[in-house]
Amino acid sequence: MIKNTGIGGYKKTSLSFINISMKLKFHGCIFVMAGEVKEVKEFLWKCKGGMLKLMEYEICYIHTSQRKTYIHTRQRVYQIRSTLKEEERRLEELPMVRVHQGYLVHLGGVESLIRHEVIMRSGDKIPVSEKRRKFVMNEVKAYVRREGKYKKTG
């Protein structure tokens, strides 16, 4: 049975499984949009006070400050027990890009890239290092072409 979840126009069908062969455990859902089927993963983290479970599209960005790592969603910020380098490897199959030594950004949450910062849809401004700027710009462009989400203006 397909029911509308109201998340970006996707419709959700139920499908759950745990992939134990990977160190990362996840549950899957299948989303259908315009006849296209896409598997969406849930990720689990150890965090202060227990476990954290997020769907891949809920992750806006991850940052490190003072040896602590935080996952930012639209609603909350969670401190997790991991390093940014570990998270970059763990989430390599997602459209995420390292924009700065301390930031890993989900491209689906990027609203714009202006000079030396990424503006997220949440309004957060993320610094982009000079050495990564061209790479980040190319990754954003490739993501937009792949996803076909934005119209060219101007």
- 2, pLDDT greater than 90: no
Q: Which residues pair with residue 115 across a beta bridge?
A: none
CATH assignment of the domain containing 29: 2.40.50.1020
Digit-coded pLDDT (tens) for 46-76? 887 788 899 988 999 999 999 899 999 988 9
Let me know: does 61 contact 105? Beta carbons within 8 Å.
yes
Q: Which domain holds residue 62?
A: 3-147
Per the domain annotation, does 154 fall within a domain?
A: no
| Total domain count, the chain | 1
CA distance linking residue 132 with residue 86, whole number of Å: 19
The pair of three-digit structure tokens given for residue 16, joined into one six-digit string: 């759950």
Per the domain annotation, does 27 fall within a domain?
A: yes
**76 closest CA partner among 53, 104, 94, 43:** 53
pLDDT grade for 21, boundaries at 50, 70 and 90: very low
Q: What is the DSSP string of 123-136?
A: S-EEE--GGGHHHH
- 25, pLDDT greater than 50: no
Per the domain annotation, does 8 fall within a domain?
A: yes
Per-residue pLDDT, 49: 78
Per the domain annotation, does 153 fall within a domain?
A: no
Residue 33, SS3? strand
Per the domain annotation, does 51 fall within a domain?
A: yes
Per the domain annotation, does 41 fall within a domain?
A: yes
Per the domain annotation, does 31 fall within a domain?
A: yes
pLDDT grade for 22, boundaries at 50, 70 and 90: very low
Which is more confident, 152 or 54? 54
Stated as kind and residue range, the H or E segment containing 24 is none
Digit-coded pLDDT (tens) for 78-128? 999 889 999 999 998 899 999 999 999 999 999 988 889 999 998 999 999
Per the domain annotation, does 152 fall within a domain?
A: no
The pair of three-digit structure tokens given for residue 9, joined into one six-digit string: 């126009």
